[in-house]
């Protein structure tokens, strides 16, 4: 505490009541601590870092006052206004995510270069390199997008030119004095190894490769970066994840849900029109899913509403390229009069009995890893408006899950089929996919069942039959949430295959597609006719 502060406190002590003196004593100690920390900060820095808003807008630094969107400026200020360890930005395409990331990396670089000895400040050995890194789904994207933006920010900044004219700008990295570098990465989770990473950006975090085995490379890279930051800098580093959404279970959506309970993560979901300046729009809007959308985007939403929802409004869809483009047709196919066959414990309901002797077709999808199994039974009736065309009724749709660490009990699945016959259903055929079904088919054949191998993945025929029936209102099915969820999330892959999104499933959907397509095949001697929408 300096002399003037001491005199001021002494004058207070001579006049106030005695009850005030303990409070003033605490104030004196607090001022002393603040002064000590302030002096320590001054000693740590060669020059004080600029406040974030000044760094962005001032001609002395980035000089972006007329180029930065108001939404971008507000978000960067919010990220650096509190002690966040991570920032998760799910914004529409064209909202300025990469621009924001380049500003953030440049600012972290600015603050670090202002230190007298960055290595000593962060407790690193002399000569240790401090790195700022951006990662992307491909090395080319990491180099071309965010890294190029960062390099442009630095090249056009008078402060960087005047203070660090000797910066070596290479194609693969930016090297600064004090052993500080900016490096573009790639999609390999091993790339960050060996770097002391203080700040990093993961660009298009929802669009990294996701494998059938459940491996998400974005999550792997996130973990690798976070370990490097935490192990070297504890909570003083910053990791920024940016992306437009891909689907409801992608990595960026997972992190947004985590941010709801983690105060150290800054989270933002913003459609394009909330980031860009309002004056670029005419002011007229249209309603779409409880949003007021500028009419400038109306054609996009009319042409492909799911893609516009994802790319412009930053709202994830259940599928990347949805097989059912209108989810309402799935809800319309649900029939409340079709009672559930089994209760929540997987036991038969007493009233689940055959109402007639029409032939039933059962299909069983065992799944590749046998952690779940889909079971469905269906039959056909004449369509009310055209007796020559079938209406398909799904009598049963069910998903059997394996116990933790185990596999689905195949004998239990076979017993359910036998139980259906005992309940009066005329089981004309039991079909399986090809995976591990030989033994089950042989056992059921000995029980008097006709069995068949049916693959709904070999081509689009089974799913096209199912889709045509649903789109034309000629399918009735139970209001079973696992089935509806799987149907909504189905994706069409390169126009040749129907699949589920990574981390999703289609066990019940496969079972229903197989049962329905086989029932229709038996009705008319082949697949249904008509245009598949």
- The model's pLDDT over 426-475, given as tens digits with 9 standing for 90+, comes to 999 999 987 678 889 999 999 999 999 998 888 788 988 998 899 889 99
With cut-offs at 50, 70 and 90, classify the pLDDT of residue 5: low
pLDDT at 527: 41
For residue 526, pLDDT over 90 is answered with no
pTM score = 0.61
For residue 190, pLDDT over 80 is answered with no
pLDDT at 73: 94
Least confident residue range of 167-171, 172-176, 458-462:
167-171
For residue 210, pLDDT over 70 is answered with no
For residue 139, pLDDT over 90 is answered with no
Dihedral, 218, 221, 222, 227 alpha carbons, nearest 10:
160
Give, for 427, the enclosing helix (H) or strand (E). strand 426-432
Q: How far apart are CA 353 and CA 425, in angstroms?
A: 7
For residue 215, pLDDT over 70 is answered with no
Q: Averaging pLDDT over each range in 175-179, 188-192, 298-302, 511-515, which range is the top one?
A: 511-515
Give, for 161, the enclosing helix (H) or strand (E). helix 158-163
pLDDT at 533: 27
User: Which residue has 């459940």 as its token pair?
Assistant: 214
Residue 143 CA, chain-centre distance (Å), reads 23
Per residue in 235-280, pLDDT (tens digit) is 889 999 999 998 787 889 999 999 999 999 999 999 999 999 999 9
Residues of the chain with pLDDT > 90, as a percent, come to: 47
The count of other CB atoms within 10 Å of the CB of residue 460 is: 17
Give the residue, 169 or 526, on which the prediction is more confident.
169
Do residues 69 and 277 lie in contact, with contact meaning Cβ atoms separated by under 8 Å?
yes
Residue 78 is given by DSSP the state: H
Do residues 2 and 35 lie in contact, with contact meaning Cβ atoms separated by under 8 Å?
yes
CA-based nearest residue to 210, from 226, 221, 224, 195: 221
For residue 494, pLDDT over 70 is answered with no
Q: Tokens standing for 244? A: 């437009």
Q: Tokens standing for 528? A: 């249904």
Percentages helix, strand, coil for the chain, rounded to the nearest 5? 40, 20, 40
Give the residue, 106 or 497, on which the prediction is more confident.
106
What is the residue-averaged pLDDT of the chain? 84
Cα-based distances in Å from 362 to 168, 207, 397, 516 = 68, 37, 10, 9
Give the residue, 516 or 185, on which the prediction is more confident.
516
Per residue in 377-399, pLDDT (tens digit) is 999 999 888 888 899 999 999 99
Q: How far apart are CA 273 and CA 458, in angstroms?
A: 43
């Amino acid at each position: 505490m300096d002399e003037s502060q001491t005199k001021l406190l002494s004058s207070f002590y001579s006049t106030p009541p005695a009850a005030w003196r303990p409070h003033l004593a605490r104030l004196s100690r607090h001022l002393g601590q603040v002064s000590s920390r302030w002096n320590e900060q001054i000693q740590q820095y060669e020059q004080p870092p600029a406040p974030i808003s000044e760094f962005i807008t001032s001609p002395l630094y980035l000089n972006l006052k007329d180029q930065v969107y108001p939404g971008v400026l507000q978000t960067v200020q919010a990220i650096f206004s509190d002690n966040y360890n991570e920032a998760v930005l799910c914004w529409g395409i064209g909202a300025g995510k990469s621009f924001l990331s380049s500003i953030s990396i440049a600012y972290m670089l600015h603050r670090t270069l202002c230190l007298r000895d960055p290595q000593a400040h962060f407790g690193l050995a002399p000569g240790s390199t401090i790195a700022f890194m951006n990662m992307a789904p491909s090395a080319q994207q990491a180099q071309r997008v965010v890294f190029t933006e960062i390099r442009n920010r630095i090249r056009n900044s008078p402060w960087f030119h005047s203070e660090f004219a000797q910066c070596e700008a290479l194609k693969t990295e930016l090297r600064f004095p004090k052993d500080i570098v900016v490096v573009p990465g790639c999609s390999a989770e091993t790339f960050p190894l060996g770097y002391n990473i203080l700040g990093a950006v993961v660009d298009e975090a929802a669009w990294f490769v996701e494998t059938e085995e459940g491996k998400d490379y974005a999550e792997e890279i996130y973990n690798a970066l976070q370990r490097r930051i935490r192990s070297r800098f504890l909570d003083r580093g910053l990791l920024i994840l940016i992306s437009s959404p891909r689907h409801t279970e992608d990595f960026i959506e997972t992190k947004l849900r985590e941010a709801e309970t983690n105060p150290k993560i800054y989270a933002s979901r913003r459609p394009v029109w909330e980031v860009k300046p309002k004056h670029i729009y005419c002011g007229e809007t249209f309603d779409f899913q409880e949003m007021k959308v500028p009419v400038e985007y109306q054609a996009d939403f009319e042409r492909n509403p799911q893609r516009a929802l994802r790319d412009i409004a930053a709202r994830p869809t259940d599928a990347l390229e949805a097989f059912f483009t209108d989810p309402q047709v799935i809800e319309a196919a649900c029939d409340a009069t079709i009672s559930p066959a089994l209760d929540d414990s997987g036991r038969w309901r007493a009233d689940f009995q055959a109402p007639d002797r029409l032939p039933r077709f059962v299909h069983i999808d065992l799944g590749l890893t046998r952690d779940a199994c889909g079971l469905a039974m269906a039959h056909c009736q004449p369509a009310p408006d055209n007796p020559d065309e079938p209406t398909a009724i799904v009598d049963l749709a069910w998903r059997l899950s394996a116990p933790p660490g185990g596999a689905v009990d195949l004998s239990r699945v076979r017993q359910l089929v036998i139980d259906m016959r005992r309940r009066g259903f005329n089981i004309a055929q039991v079909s399986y996919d090809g995976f591990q079904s030989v033994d089950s088919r042989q056992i059921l054949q000995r029980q008097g069942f006709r069995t068949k191998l049916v693959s709904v993945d070999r081509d689009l025929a089974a799913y096209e039959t199912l889709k045509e029936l649903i789109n034309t209102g000629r399918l009735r099915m139970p209001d079973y949430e696992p089935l509806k969820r799987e149907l909504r999330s189905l994706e069409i892959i390169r126009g040749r295959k129907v699949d589920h999104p990574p981390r999703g499933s289609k066990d019940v959907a496969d079972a229903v597609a197989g049962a329905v397509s086989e029932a229709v095949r038996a009705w008319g001697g082949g697949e249904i006719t008509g245009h598949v929408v």
